Amino acid sequence: MRPDWDSYFMKIAFAVSERSTCDRAFVGCVLVREKRILTTGFNGSPAGQEHCDEIGHLMVEGHCVRTIHAETNAIIQAALHGVSTRGATCYVTHLPCINCTKALINAGVTRIVYNVAYRTDENAVNFLAAAKVEAIQLDFRAN
């Protein structure tokens, strides 16, 4: 059976998550506009830096600060390659954290489709509502 568009792009987000180098959460993100992929991102260290799966986590207050989140990496890739994210949909394996939520709002993303509601932050949820960004949890099985 042919998947609907949301399932199709979410499956790609899960495939992208396989590139994550921080095993605390394998997260993948795909930014899409008009059914076309703009950029992708996964959890990993800054370019040229060692990764968690090579030298371990750099933990501060319960968070690995060595890792750039998937959503932020997707936005950075768009900036590096001159791709506008205005009006895009973000397909991401996990609900964005507060910092990624703010970055997605400022990047012009108008819709977020996620699978796992991981560490839901009420401030992030409120920011999305105030910015009129639609957030949809998709019950999706990657396999």
**Residues designated catalytic:** 71
SS (H, E, C) 66-135: CCECHHHHHHHHHHHCCCCCCCCEEEEEECCCHHHHHHHHHCCCCEEEEEECCCCCHHHHHHHHHCCCEE
